[in-house]
Structure 1
């Protein structure tokens, strides 16, 4: 970073969108670290939006970062297209720009982290989703930072 450039404030919300739950992560004001915030049990779309609107307002969110579940071959499969459709609706409803991150293996990484901490993944599905959302957001923050160097 040069002497003339100052760190840019960013407030992003990372989402790991599943069929039953949405893992939600936020970042610190400098955009350095992502942290799992909550796991939202999916219900009616309007209710999901209402819960996320609170976070967006409280955290002054500027961008939604959503994990896109590419297949291992790199293609967008059925699930990825469902995530894109839902994420697009969310972004419109929340009036926020939307960015995607390749989320292959984030849930697996989250489970490995939990096992290392002696936490049972099978009993803590919501925690997996939160951790996966944090991994997704951290990946986006790191890419963003490396592009500015």
Structure 2
């Protein structure tokens, strides 16, 4: 974990990612980081990494400064199998960004307890059928993660979550 001394006023688009076993929901802010909107749902592709490639392209195209990856903890705050998967995804994304044309983009893990539950409830309340809304639920969960991160950012006057430090090639040599 890296100490964070960056002010909340750091300009730029924020992106949130809701990592699932099958899909990845993506949401983004405007350049002033005020409004969170759904972007798309990506199919997970652990073999070829096409979801990470597409996500990297979105980050570059939108000039994203911070990516919040939802960290699914148990209600008691304990790590679960899903927590480990989200951490691995965040690490893979941080490593990919560090090696790309967007190394300045920060990846952060933020607590996302109940984001999918909250998103599903909001969708039900608005009349969306859960079966028809499976792809949309991932985007809505990403919006929930992003809105929560933006609220914490405003309240604390600093970026929320833990920075994911990219692995460097020289660190992996024997």
TM-score normalized by the length of structure 1: 0.89
Counting only pairs closer than 5 Å after superposition, residues 1-149 of structure 1 correspond to structure 2 as 8-43=10-45, 44-95=47-98, 96-148=105-157
Unpaired runs of 5+ residues, structure 1, are 1-6
Deviations 1:72-113 (A, max 9, x none): 111111210121012111111023322122111111111111
Aligned length: 143
| 8 Å Cα contact 2:67-2:107 kept in structure 1 | yes
Structure 2 partner of 1:4? none
Decide which structure has greater helix share. 1
1:63, 1:92 → 2: CA distance? 14
2:20, 2:88 → 1: CA distance? 12
Deviations 1:48-73 (A, max 9, x none): 12211221111101111011110111
Q: CA RMSD in A?
A: 1.5
Q: CA deviation at 1:33?
A: 1.4
Q: CA deviation at 1:46?
A: 2.8
Q: CA deviation at 1:141?
A: 1.1
Unpaired runs of 5+ residues, structure 2, are 1-8, 99-104, 159-174
Q: CA deviation at 1:30?
A: 1.2
1:27, 1:57 → 2: CA distance? 14
TM-score normalized by the length of structure 2: 0.77
1:46, 1:70 → 2: CA distance? 24
Moved over 4 A (4+): none
